[in-house]
Amino acid sequence: MEPLYQRYDAFVTICSGEAPTFRAHDSRAFWRRANHFTAANVTGQPVLALPSGFGPSGLPLGMQLLGRPFGEAVILRIGHAYQRATEWHLRHPALVPHASAPPVEEPETLTEPHGEAVTALRAECLAAAGRAGLDLDRRMLAQLLDGAPYALAMADRMPRDHGYAEAPANVLTLQSP
């Protein structure tokens, strides 16, 4: 991204489309394939999401402004100028008066695969959750086990040509006055 940071102040990309129905939501979709959030998630760029219209179902749509590392001031200025030039941030979806919320159905319980590799992955996930102080119920653990291979594969694709403490995202130095 460094050559792009030198050439551009910010990037405009899409946000998510209209929200899916509760039944269509898949919490594991993020790990299965790259999406329009992947670039900022990997690079650690600052991002500002802004409303930019409504989709065919009448639900809000958005756009993302991605900045250079530590470029929050620039994307905030761009976002402010965009909102001054448009009225999307003032509009709301049309609601049906006195409508009842649809019932939220509990998603299917995920089933855990078995085998030696899964046992090792399960132990690794439980250890990581323990280090993070997380108390996972059965369903959350199943989701973690389902997404872990994708997350680990993404991590394996990251370049390892420097030590952890030398990575730009892991180092912040402040100069003394």
- String of DSSP letters for 28-40: THHHHS--TTHHH
Per-residue model confidence (pLDDT) at position 15: 81
Residue 75 reports pLDDT greater than 90:
yes
Q: Which residue has the tokens 């409504």?
A: 54
pLDDT tens digits for range 5-55: 889 999 998 887 787 766 666 666 666 666 666 677 777 789 999 999 998
Write the CA distances from 60 to 24, 41, 82, 146, integer angstroms.
Answer: 17, 23, 16, 30
